[in-house]
Chain A
C-alpha cells in the first residue's frame, strides 16, 4: 500500500481554500498563513498532542509553478492548503486523534477551507479529511518500523547509556562491581517515562 512504509503512514491532504475574505476582512489565504505562523512549535505544538506524529507540515499552495516557454502556463483556480504527515498506524484513528487533540487550531486553520465541517462530528470531520486525501505514489521511510514512542525511548536510552559508560569506565570496574550497577541501570531505564514529543 503506497501510503505506508513499515508501520508508518504518509498522509497527503490537499484542502481547497475559500476564495474571498473572512469575517474580519482579510483574504482567507492570508489569514490562514498568519494563523500558521502564530501556531506554537516544539513541545507546545498542537501536533505534539496528536499521538504518533513524527513529522508534519502545512504549506499554502498559491499556484503551480510555470516551467517557462515553450511549456504551457497552468494556473490553479483555487489556492490549496497542503498538509503532509508521517505518523504511526492507520488513518482513521489518526484523524480522530487530530480532531480531539487540537480542535481549536484545526478551526483556526481549516475554518478558511471549503467545506470544513468543524470538529463536533467525528464522522463529518473524517469524511472531510478523507475527501482531501491524495494517494502517495512512493513513500520512503528510514525507520518506518519504529513508532514515535519507541524512537523517543531509544533516544533516551542512548543518553542514559552514554552517561552510564562514562561513569563506569576503567579497570576498577570489575565484573562483581559492575554487574549490580548495570542491573540498577536497567531498572531505572525500564521505569523512566517516555520523553515528551519534540523535547529530544
Chain B
C-alpha cells in the first residue's frame, strides 16, 4: 500500500450515483434547469443522478462556476485531479468469458494528487469550496454535504480505495514549489535577455529588481530531511458519538 510518495498523496474515491430516468428533453432539459438555478433560482432542485453531474461538468467546461477552478488553483496544493464518470455498462468487458457487470448504479471516480495530510486536504475543500464540492458530489448517493466537516470526512473515507503503487516524478516538490520554480525560470529567461546589453551600473539595479520579482520563489525544495510521517488518515474508529452540550 502506498498512498504517499514524497510530498504528494494519492487519493481515490468511488461514490455511487443513481441512473437517470427518461426525460423528454434529456440532457438539454437538465442544462436549462442548471442555468435557471445558477442565474435566478438558487434553491431549484435538480435530480440526484448521473445526467445532472454530466451536465454540471459540461457547463464547467463552458466556463460556469469559475470559482471552483479558481479556488482549486489558488489553494495550490493539488498537482493534478480528475473526476471520471463510469456508467454501469462502461466497465471494460474484454472477452466473452468475462462475466458481464450488472450494476444498478453508475459510479463516480475521483482521484487527486495533493500536498499535506489527508485531513487538512479534505477540510480545506470543505471550508474553502463547499459550493464547488456540493456541485459535484451532490448527485452521489447519500452525500451528506460538505459542511459540517465530520460527516463529509466520513463519507470520503467510506468511499476511499488505497493506492497500491504511486509514482511521483517530483517527490521532493510540492505544487507551490513547482509553480514557484516555473515562475522563476520564466522571469530568469526574460531577465537574461533584457539585461544582456546593460552597462554594469544599470545591470546592478536591474538585477535587484529581478531578484525582487522572484523573491516569492526562493524556498528550498527537495524532500524534507529525515522525512516524517503525517498524522493518520482520520480513521473512523476514533470518532466518538457527537453530543450537544
Q: Who on chain A is nearest to B218 by CB?
A: A162
Specify the chain A residue showing the minimal Cβ separation from B103. Answer: A74
Task: For B168, give the chain A residue with the smallest CB separation.
Answer: A55
A197 to chain B, nearest CB (A): 4
Residues of chain A contacted by B184 (CB below 8 angstroms): 154, 157-158, 161
Which residues of chain A are within 8 angstroms of B163 by Cβ–Cβ distance? 57-59
Complex CA gap A2/B184 in Å reads 30
- Is A151 in contact with B178, judged by CB distance below 8 angstroms? yes
Chain A interface residue bracket vs B: 35 or more
Tally of A-B residue pairs with Cβ under 8 A? 261
Q: A-side binding surface: helix, strand, loop or mixed? A: mixed
Write the chain A residue with the least CB distance to B215: A165
Using an 8 Å CB-CB cutoff, how does the interface string of B205-221 with A read, 1 for contact, 0 for none?
10100010010011011
Stretch of B25-33, B35-43, B70-78, B117-125 at the chain-chain interface = B70-78
Dominant SS among interface residues on chain B = mixed
Q: Which of B98-141 contact A (CB under 8 A)?
A: 98-105, 107, 109, 111, 113, 136, 141
Of B166, B171, B192, B203, the residue contacting A175 (CB under 8 A) is B203
Let me know if A176 and B200 touch, CB within 8 A.
yes
Stretch of B79-87, B225-233, B235-243 contacting A (4+ beta carbons < 8 Å): B79-87
Q: Nearest Cβ distance between residue B107 and chain A, in whole angstroms?
A: 6
Known contacts A56-B167, A64-B107, A158-B217: A136-B182 contact under CB 8 Å: no
**Complex contacts, A132 vs chain B, CB 8 Å:** 92, 94
Q: Assign chain B's interface to a size class.
A: 35 or more
Are A138 and B61 interface neighbours, CB within 8 A?
Answer: yes
13 extra interface residue pairs, beta carbon distance < 8 Å, beyond A41-B165, A141-B80, A178-B200: A12-B84, A37-B1, A54-B170, A67-B16, A82-B12, A115-B95, A132-B92, A155-B178, A158-B177, A175-B199, A179-B204, A182-B195, A182-B203
Q: Which residues of A contact B (CB under 8 A)?
A: 2, 5, 8, 10, 12, 14-16, 33, 36-37, 39, 41-42, 45, 47-48, 53-61, 64-65, 67-68, 71-72, 74, 76-78, 80, 82, 84, 86, 114-115, 128, 131-132, 134-143, 146, 148, 150-155, 157-159, 161-162, 165, 173-176, 178-179, 182, 186, 197-198, 200
In the assembled complex, 20 residue pairs joining A and B whose CB atoms fall closer than 8 Å, in A order, are A14-B91, A39-B165, A42-B171, A48-B167, A55-B168, A57-B12, A59-B163, A59-B164, A82-B109, A114-B98, A115-B95, A131-B92, A138-B83, A140-B69, A141-B79, A152-B170, A155-B221, A174-B200, A175-B207, A179-B198
